[in-house]
Structure 1
Amino acid sequence: MAEPRRVCVVGPGTRFLSGITYYTYSLIEALSEAGHQCSAVLIRNLVPARFYPGRARVGGALTQLSLPPNVPRVDGVDWYWGRSLVRAVAFLRRERPQVLVLQWWTGAVLHTYLVLAIVARLHGARVVVEFHEAQDVGEARLPFVGRYMDVLGRSLLRLSARQLVHSQFDLGLVKSRYGVSESVELVPHAGYDYLPSRPPLRPAAPDVVNLLYFGVIRPFKGTEDLVAALDLLGAAGYESQFWLTLVGETWEGWDLPNRLIAASPHRDRITFVNRYVTDAEAAGYFAGADVVVLPYHRSSSSGPLQIAMAAGLPVVATRVGGLIEATANYPGAVLVDPADPASLAEGIRLAAKLAGQRFEGVTTWSDTARSYTELFDAMLSDPMLSDAALP
C-alpha cells in the first residue's frame, strides 16, 4: 500500500439488521486492518418501522456485531433526517475523508446519500458507490419508486468517481439502468466468517443429510421449490436420507412455503424456524448443516452463500444472476436450473455425496481490502478527478 487513506464508509447500522449491515462492518474492519484510517456513518432508522417487512424485530438484540474501537462513527442518520443529518454533516466536515464509500442496497437511503456525497465532494473527497443490487425487487413494484430511483440514483452517480459491483451480471444491470460505463469496476463479494463458534443446532439425525435454507423468505427466493424438491425425493424413495431445515423471516406476506410445508407428506422431516435468528443461532444452524440449498429465482449476490462457502460447506444454488460467478471457483457448488424442483432435487442428490467434505475457493476480506486500496490509489492520483467540478 502506497500510503494509508482516510476513508469513511456509509451503510446500515444494527437497528435495521440486514446482510448489508454485516458487509458494511466487515468492510470497515478489513480496510482498518489494511492500515487505512476508517470512519463510519451508519444509517440508524432506515424507514418508519411500520413500513419495514421485519418490523417486529427492529432494534432487537440479534447480533454482537461491532466496529473496531478506533473507528470514529456517527450512529446514525435517520430516514427523516432532523438533527441526525446535521450530526453526520458535521462529522464529515471534521473527519475530512479522502474517500466516501456508500453502500447501495435500497432507495430508502438515496436522499441521505445525495446530501452526504455533496458535502464530501465540497470538502475534496472522492465518492465511491458500491452496489449490492441495482434495485430491490419489492421496491421496484411500488408506484413511482422506479422513477424516483432513476432521478436520484443518476444524480448520485454523477457525484461519484467510481461505482463498484460484485459480478459481471450486476455490471451490465448498473450500466444499462443508470447510464454509467467506464467508471464501474468489479470487486467480488468476500466470504463471511463473522459467525461465532457454536455447537450444531441440528434437528436431523447424525446419519441423515441435513439440508439448510437460510435467509429471508420472499417470492423470488424460491423456498417453495425446495419444499417441492423434498417431496420429489421422498416420492422417489429417498425420504430417509434427507432432512430439511428452513431458517428465515417471511417478507411481503409470502406464505406459500408455509402452506406447502403444512401439506407435505414429509412435513415431519422439515424444521421451519420462521423468524430472523441471532448470530449465535445462525452459527449453530450452519454448524449443523451438511448441504446449504439456495433455490433463488433471481439474485445479484447472496450473504448466506458467502457464509456457506466461508465455512467450506457443499452448496446447491441456481444458475441465476451473480451466483454463477460467485461459485465459479468453488468446487463444493452444484448449480441447478431455477424454478425447477426436479432439477433442484437432482442437485441435492449430487451435493449429498459431498457431505462431510470441506472446500476452499472463496474471496477473502484481505482480497477485498487489496482491491479497494488499488482503487483508492488510482482515484487519488488522478488529476482529472481532482479537478472535477460538482455537477
Structure 2
Amino acid sequence: MRICVVGSSKKFFSGISAYTIVMANAFAEQGHKVSVILLQNLVPLFLYPGRNRVGKGEYTIDFHPDIEVYNGMDWNAPASWVEAHRFLSEQKPDAIIMHWWTSSVVHMQLFLAMCCRRMNGTKPKLILEMHEVVDTLEEKIFPIRVYSKVGGKALISACDGYTAHSEEARQAIIKTYKLAGEKIVVVPHGPYNMYGTLDRKLAREEMNLNGFTILYFGMIRQYKGVSLLVKAFNNIPPELAHNMHLVIAGENWGDDTELLQVLDNTPYKDRIIFKPEFIPDETVPKLFTAADVVVLPYLRSCGSGVLNIAVAQGKPLITADLDTMVECLEGYGGASFFPAGDADALCDRLREAYDSWVVNGVQICRFTGVSWMDIVKKYEDIIGKMNKHQHVN
C-alpha cells in the first residue's frame, strides 16, 4: 500500500516526532510505499514551554532514505499548506495515518483532511491515531479549551477511523467525542527499541552514580506525578536512601507547582540529580543503562513512550495502577504497581525494588510487547476492512 504519515517535525522534537519517524520506518521496512508530511512550526515560539531548544537537532533517529518527506507545514503559513496539498496529490496514498496529540495543530490537520476529500480518483482512508484525549494544559485555558473541543470534533468528523493505545483511552475518546465504538480500534504503542545500551560501569561513572539508582525520565508535567515521586523518596529511611540515587531527567513545563518546593525540602539533596531540560537522544541510553528501576508515577495516562523505552531496555518498572499502564504492561515480568497518587504506597514499592536489587543485583526483564511488525499488520487489517466496507456499500 501507499501510506502517508502526518506528525510532528524534528524542529519541535518530542515523543510524537520520534513516534512519527519510527512508525514511518516500520511501514517502509514491511514493503509499503511511505510518505510523510511534517508539521514543522507548531505554535508561536513564545508560547512553547520548550522554546529554548527548538531547532537544535538533538536527536539521532531519522527517516529511512526511501521515504518521501515534506518538511513541512507551518501554523501561520498557508503557502506551506498548499505545498503539502501538492505533495499529497503527487503521493496518492491509499491511507493517511494522522497523529493527534494537541489542538494547536488542528487547523493544519483539518486542511489536510479537506484535501483528502477533494482528491481525484479513490479517496485515501484517513485514520486518526489519538495519543491524547484533551491535553491537560490546554484544558485549563478557557479559549484554548473551547478551540480544542470545536477543532477536535471537526477533525474527528472528517476522519474514516481512529486508533487509541489502550482500551481505557478508547473508552475516554468514545465518551468525549461521542464516537461509534466500532470505528475506534486499540493499536498498542509501538516499542522504542532504537536506543542501544552502553557499558553500565562507564555510564554510572560519567553520572557520578553509586548504589541503587531510580530514574524518572520524560516531560515534567503536573499529571506526570514527579512531585509525588520526590515525596515518596523523601520517606525512604536514611540508612537506605544513602545507598540510593534518584535521577529526574526531562523538560520542565512548569505546571507542577509543588515540585520545586518538595525538592527544596528534601533531606536527601545530595542523593537527587535533577536535570530539568530536554534530553538529547545520545544521552538517553546512558540514563537507562545506569538505572536500576524506572518509575512512572503518572496521575493519568493515555499511553507512554517512556514506558516503551524502559520495556525495550528490559528495565524493572514501577508505575501507577492506571488501567492504561496495567494494560500496556500486561505480561511484562518487570512491572509493579501502586495506587495512583499514593506516595506511601510508592515508597513501599521503592523499598521492595531496593531489597530485590540487594538480593539479586541488576535485573534485566524480558520484552513481551507487540512489535512494529504486529502494529503494521493491525493497520493493514484496519485499512483492509475500511476498503471492504466501502465496496459493500
In the alignment, the residues of structure 1 paired with residue 208 and residue 333 of structure 2 have an alpha-carbon distance, to the nearest angstrom, of 25
> Gapped runs of 5+ residues in structure 1?
none
C-alpha contact 1:211 1:245 (8 A) present in aligned 2:
yes
In the alignment, the residues of structure 2 paired with residue 362 and residue 349 of structure 1 have an alpha-carbon distance, to the nearest angstrom, of 27
Per the alignment, residue 374 of structure 2 pairs with 367
Distance 1:191 1:351, change over 3 A: farther
- Where 1:330 maps in the other structure, the secondary structure is coil
In the alignment, the residues of structure 2 paired with residue 367 and residue 358 of structure 1 have an alpha-carbon distance, to the nearest angstrom, of 24
- C-alpha deviation, 1:154, in angstroms: 2.0
C-alpha contact 1:121 1:127 (8 A) present in aligned 2:
no
C-alpha contact 1:315 1:351 (8 A) present in aligned 2:
no
- Where 1:70 maps in the other structure, the secondary structure is coil
In the alignment, the residues of structure 2 paired with residue 269 and residue 334 of structure 1 have an alpha-carbon distance, to the nearest angstrom, of 23
In the alignment, the residues of structure 1 paired with residue 34 and residue 341 of structure 2 have an alpha-carbon distance, to the nearest angstrom, of 42
Per the alignment, residue 96 of structure 1 pairs with 92
Amino acid in the other structure paired with 2:115: V
Per the alignment, residue 258 of structure 2 pairs with 256
Q: For 2:235, which of 232, 235, 245 is the aligned residue?
A: 232
Per the alignment, residue 17 of structure 1 pairs with 13
Deviations 1:159-202 (A, max 9, x none): 21110001011111110111112200010112211224444433
C-alpha contact 2:246 2:272 (8 A) present in aligned 1:
yes
Distance 1:384 1:349, change over 3 A: farther
Deviations 1:330-363 (A, max 9, x none): 1100101122111001111223316522222122
Per the alignment, residue 328 of structure 2 pairs with 326
Amino acid in the other structure paired with 1:177: T
Per the alignment, residue 28 of structure 1 pairs with 24
C-alpha contact 2:222 2:257 (8 A) present in aligned 1:
no
Amino acid in the other structure paired with 1:241: N
- Where 2:295 maps in the other structure, the secondary structure is strand
- Where 1:53 maps in the other structure, the secondary structure is coil
Per the alignment, residue 192 of structure 1 pairs with 192
- C-alpha deviation, 1:141, in angstroms: 0.8
- Where 2:235 maps in the other structure, the secondary structure is helix
Amino acid in the other structure paired with 2:295: V
In the alignment, the residues of structure 2 paired with residue 321 and residue 116 of structure 1 have an alpha-carbon distance, to the nearest angstrom, of 33
- Where 2:263 maps in the other structure, the secondary structure is helix
Per the alignment, residue 387 of structure 2 pairs with 380
In the alignment, the residues of structure 2 paired with residue 165 and residue 328 of structure 1 have an alpha-carbon distance, to the nearest angstrom, of 17
C-alpha contact 1:130 1:163 (8 A) present in aligned 2:
yes
In the alignment, the residues of structure 2 paired with residue 150 and residue 382 of structure 1 have an alpha-carbon distance, to the nearest angstrom, of 29
C-alpha contact 1:298 1:321 (8 A) present in aligned 2:
no
Q: How many residues align?
A: 380
- C-alpha deviation, 1:250, in angstroms: 1.0
1:170 equivalent in alignment to 2:196: no
Q: What is the identity percentage for the equivalent residue pairs of Structure 1 and Structure 2?
A: 31
> Gapped runs of 5+ residues in structure 2?
none
Per the alignment, residue 362 of structure 2 pairs with 356
- Where 1:238 maps in the other structure, the secondary structure is helix
- Where 2:193 maps in the other structure, the secondary structure is coil
In the alignment, the residues of structure 2 paired with residue 269 and residue 234 of structure 1 have an alpha-carbon distance, to the nearest angstrom, of 13
- C-alpha deviation, 1:288, in angstroms: 0.6
In the alignment, the residues of structure 1 paired with residue 241 and residue 158 of structure 2 have an alpha-carbon distance, to the nearest angstrom, of 56
Per the alignment, residue 213 of structure 2 pairs with 210
Q: For 1:273, which of 272, 275, 290 is the aligned residue?
A: 275
In the alignment, the residues of structure 1 paired with residue 256 and residue 146 of structure 2 have an alpha-carbon distance, to the nearest angstrom, of 26
In the alignment, the residues of structure 2 paired with residue 144 and residue 49 of structure 1 have an alpha-carbon distance, to the nearest angstrom, of 19
C-alpha contact 1:104 1:129 (8 A) present in aligned 2:
yes
- C-alpha deviation, 1:204, in angstroms: 5.8
Per the alignment, residue 44 of structure 2 pairs with 48
- Where 2:322 maps in the other structure, the secondary structure is coil
- Where 2:274 maps in the other structure, the secondary structure is strand
Amino acid in the other structure paired with 1:16: F
- Where 2:340 maps in the other structure, the secondary structure is coil
Amino acid in the other structure paired with 2:383: F
Deviations 1:34-84 (A, max 9, x none): 111110000100101100011111111210221111111110101113321
- Where 1:246 maps in the other structure, the secondary structure is strand
- Where 1:380 maps in the other structure, the secondary structure is helix
- Where 2:246 maps in the other structure, the secondary structure is strand
1:281-360 counterparts in 2 under 5 A?
A: 281-352=283-354, 353=356, 356-359=362-365, 360=367
- Where 2:247 maps in the other structure, the secondary structure is strand
Distance 1:127 1:294, change over 3 A: same
TM-score by length of 1: 0.93
Distance 1:95 1:365, change over 3 A: same
- C-alpha deviation, 1:144, in angstroms: 2.5
Amino acid in the other structure paired with 2:143: F
1:134 equivalent in alignment to 2:133: yes
C-alpha contact 2:227 2:256 (8 A) present in aligned 1:
no
C-alpha contact 1:292 1:313 (8 A) present in aligned 2:
yes
- Where 1:259 maps in the other structure, the secondary structure is helix
In the alignment, the residues of structure 1 paired with residue 281 and residue 301 of structure 2 have an alpha-carbon distance, to the nearest angstrom, of 23
In the alignment, the residues of structure 1 paired with residue 339 and residue 285 of structure 2 have an alpha-carbon distance, to the nearest angstrom, of 28
- C-alpha deviation, 1:129, in angstroms: 0.3
- Where 2:336 maps in the other structure, the secondary structure is strand
In the alignment, the residues of structure 2 paired with residue 143 and residue 292 of structure 1 have an alpha-carbon distance, to the nearest angstrom, of 35
Per the alignment, residue 183 of structure 2 pairs with 183
Per the alignment, residue 222 of structure 1 pairs with 225
C-alpha contact 1:330 1:362 (8 A) present in aligned 2:
yes
